[in-house]
């Protein structure tokens, strides 16, 4: 009985070590960060994608739905206007490094002009954000992001 438990325990430890090594040695295939820049309310997405060594160059498209609110003062009254748009931006000819990783950054315009009190966007919501690798066809769905002008 003791020998069977020892073998089972040994096999379990071995499997845990092998799994731990393979997970620890793996690097993420895709990573991104999203920020909203004020006063414009523009969205900036920086990304890093692995596994692109088989391509000479890689093209990307960033797209989203954005609702941007800007305010104006008319005769002492503040009036706010929301603009809904679906901007997109492309990055072409990004080259994988020797390990097959591609890094880049794309920006989307909020589409709002701002007002006379603050020629800036006061609030912005980005949803349905996608980053598409046009070369491989892979679509990454990013989390929605909102922000208020400080």
Output the CA torsion 91→92→96→97 (10° steps). -70
Tens digits of pLDDT across the chain (150 residues): 454 444 444 444 333 333 333 333 334 699 999 999 988 899 999 999 999 999 999 999 999 999 999 887 778 888 888 889 999 999 999 999 999 999 999 999 987 754 444 556 789 999 999 999 999 999 999 999 999 987
Residues β-bridged to residue 32 = 47
Are the CB atoms for 58 and 107 separated by under 8 Å?
Answer: no
Map residue 97 onto helix, strand or coil.
Answer: coil
Q: Where are the domains of the chain?
A: 28-148
Which pLDDT belongs to residue 102? 97
Q: Rounded to 5 degrees, what angle do the CA atoms 136, 99, 26 make? A: 90
For domain 28-148, say whether CATH 2.60.40 is its number: yes
Paired tokens of 127: 């949803």
The pTM is what? 0.76
CA distance linking residue 11 with residue 118, whole number of Å:
66
């Amino acid at each position: 009985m003791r020998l069977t438990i020892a073998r089972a325990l040994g096999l379990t430890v071995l499997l845990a070590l092998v799994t731990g090594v393979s997970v620890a040695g793996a690097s993420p295939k895709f990573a991104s960060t999203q920020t909203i820049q004020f006063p414009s309310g523009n969205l900036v997405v920086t990304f890093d994608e692995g596994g692109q060594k088989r391509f000479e160059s890689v093209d990307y498209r960033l797209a989203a739905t954005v609702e941007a609110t800007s305010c104006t003062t008319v005769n002492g009254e503040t009036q706010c206007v929301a603009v809904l748009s679906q901007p997109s931006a492309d990055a072409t000819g990004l080259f994988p490094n020797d390990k097959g990783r591609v890094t880049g950054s794309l920006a989307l315009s909020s589409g709002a002009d701002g007002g006379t009190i603050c020629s800036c966007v006061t609030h912005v919501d980005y949803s349905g954000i996608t980053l598409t690798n046009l070369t491989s066809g892979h679509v990454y769905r990013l989390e929605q992001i909102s922000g208020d002008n400080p």
